Amino acid sequence: MSVRHLTVFTALLASILQVSTSSGADHRCFCQVTGNLDDCACDVETIDAFNNNQLFPKLQKLLESDYFRFYKVNLDKPCPFWTDNSHCGLRDCAVQPCSLNEVPEGIKSSSHKYSAEANMQQDNCEKLEHLGAVDASLSEKMRDALLNWNLHDDESERFCVIDDVESPDAQYVDLLLNPERYTGYKGPEAWQIWNSIYEENCFKPYTVKRPVYPQMFHSSQGKDGAKQTCFSSSPGQCVEKRAFYRLISGLHASINIHLSARYLMDDNWFHKKWTHNVSEFQQRFDSDLTAGEGPKRLRNLYFLYLIELRALAKALPFFQHSSFQLYTGQPRQDQAHKELLLEILQLADTFPLHFNETSLFAGDEKEAAKLKEDIRLSFQNISRIMDCVGCFKCRLWGKLQTQGLGTALKVLFSRRQIEDLTKSNVPQPTFQLNRQEIVSIFNAFGRISTSIKELKNFRSMLADFR
């Protein structure tokens, strides 16, 4: 029975049984988005309640703080894979960088310490002077902590290509002033980005159908057969590759939810209004309109949520450390925000049905190491592809979210090093996150958390549609 038949059949059955919630448009997006998630001991309803009622409001508040709203990014890196189409002239793609006097002094002056090599070579006196210029009241202990910050070069643990924040092209962007929303960036260019991510980089199973531009579905057999990098989906397909694919698919779903939730609905000279476009949402997630893929994409979003939630909970010891500060140069606020951050992580830690990451890379040690490396390299490649996104606004959020997910993976695969942080007899901690990574992991998770919340809105709008 085809998916369409199945849907019609279930809808019919539902109407016979008078089950009002499982018929109609809402059902076609959410039909499979309920109950247990594969590979996890968790269900969607538990996540909804936990996120929407508890975590989301707190996280939102944290992300409005100075530390998290200013993200330094290089939007001018050339695309390494194909000739850049000149950046699209769409108005809504523009990113407004901050002028330097808008960025808090503490963030500006401490950011140089995050660039690994530069930092290693810089002589300590110079750094001390520099720090002294910011806030002379820095305690001795804190000063040491700041100096130690980047002694450890963890390039080999990174899942992402990190922008050189020292580059003159890197600029601060106020994320609150440049929200992720509908920009009009679509069509062949946008499609090429996702296509190269799926087809060339992310272990896409043969069975997953991808639309061939323009918005048309076909069976992907044959087309995918030609791609050597893709793998076949079989019952024995390894958890890791499946997990990787699902993360990317979840990220894609999340981005599309935001674009549908903040669609430019009213556009004239005097008035612009970004709000929900239900039909855009259906185009992307309705099971009939997407050959059954839509609901799976939504499930992948939940999977991504669990992974990032788990990573944050795992990172708690790092953030709890007394040397860790959300340093912006405003001590009282910084302290209050650190407390809020810890509250969020503790909440994340109490989530009852965490993803159990020990089941990942649990096989033969050599094989596991190879797999981890494969995934790491693919992921780095995906972060480079983000430099090819033509629309600056989309590039900004694409870079931020891939970096955030990369940081989450780094955390999950640094179990041992993070445990070391809680032991007093380990002199030189080997696990570090720099400001870029911290800002990106929280903002990326903020996006996923917002998506989960938006799903609830779409669900009730679709229910009203009938």
Give the residues lining the site for ligand NAG (CB under 6 A).
81, 196, 200-201, 263, 265, 277, 279-280, 283, 356, 358-359, 377-378, 381, 385
**Under a CB-based contact definition with an 8 Å cutoff, are residues 82 and 130 in contact?**
no
Is 81 or 206 the residue whose CB approaches ligand NAG more closely? Answer: 81
What number of other Cβ atoms are within 10 A of residue 110's Cβ?
21
Q: How far is the CB of 71 from ligand NAG (least distance, A)?
A: 24
Tell me the three state secondary structure of residue 233.
Answer: coil
Q: How far is the CB of 219 from ligand NAG (least distance, A)?
A: 23
Which residue is nearest to ligand NAG, using beta carbons?
196
Question: How far is the C-alpha of 188 from the C-alpha of 391, rounded, in Å?
Answer: 13
| CA-wise closest residue to 267 among 91, 65, 45, 36 | 91
| CA-wise closest residue to 419 among 303, 314, 268, 337 | 314
Q: How far is the CB of 377 from ligand NAG (least distance, A)?
A: 6
Q: How far is the CB of 239 from ligand NAG (least distance, A)?
A: 11
Question: How far is the C-alpha of 423 from the C-alpha of 107, rounded, in Å?
Answer: 30
Q: How far is the CB of 207 from ligand NAG (least distance, A)?
A: 21
| CA-wise closest residue to 113 among 145, 152, 137, 146 | 146
Structure tokens at 244: 């990787």
Is 354 or 410 the residue whose CB approaches ligand NAG more closely? Answer: 354
Is 64 or 266 the residue whose CB approaches ligand NAG more closely? Answer: 266
Structure tokens at 265: 């609905």
Q: How far is the CB of 245 from ligand NAG (least distance, A)?
A: 14
What number of other Cβ atoms are within 10 A of residue 463's Cβ?
15
Is 86 or 358 the residue whose CB approaches ligand NAG more closely? Answer: 358
Is 218 or 415 the residue whose CB approaches ligand NAG more closely? Answer: 415
Q: What is the DSSP letter of 50?
A: I
Is 143 or 186 the residue whose CB approaches ligand NAG more closely? Answer: 186
Is 184 or 317 the residue whose CB approaches ligand NAG more closely? Answer: 184
What number of other Cβ atoms are within 10 A of residue 52's Cβ?
15
Tell me the three state secondary structure of residue 22.
Answer: helix
Structure tokens at 143: 């000063």
Q: How far is the CB of 120 from ligand NAG (least distance, A)?
A: 28
Q: How far is the CB of 52 from ligand NAG (least distance, A)?
A: 25
**Under a CB-based contact definition with an 8 Å cutoff, are residues 392 and 87 in contact?**
yes
Instruction: Report the run of H or E that residue 171 belongs to, with start and end.
Output: strand 170-174
DSSP per residue, 335-384 = HHHHHHHHHHHHHHHH-TT---GGGTT-S-HHHHHHHHHHHHHHHHHHHH
Report how far apart, in Å, the C-alpha atoms of 55 and of each of 23, 112, 366, 406 are: 30, 32, 38, 22
Is 41 or 49 the residue whose CB approaches ligand NAG more closely? Answer: 41
Is 321 or 415 the residue whose CB approaches ligand NAG more closely? Answer: 415
Structure tokens at 213: 């531009």
Is 172 or 263 the residue whose CB approaches ligand NAG more closely? Answer: 263
| CA-wise closest residue to 312 among 51, 72, 5 | 51
Q: How far is the CB of 149 from ligand NAG (least distance, A)?
A: 31
Structure tokens at 171: 């600029």
The residues pairing with 162 across neighbouring beta strands, listed in sequence order, are none
Q: How far is the CB of 428 from ligand NAG (least distance, A)?
A: 29
**Under a CB-based contact definition with an 8 Å cutoff, are residues 247 and 357 in contact?**
no
Q: How far is the CB of 282 from ligand NAG (least distance, A)?
A: 7
With a CB cutoff of 8 Å and minimum separation 6, the contacts of 411 are: 311, 312, 314, 315, 418, 433, 441
Is 165 or 251 the residue whose CB approaches ligand NAG more closely? Answer: 251
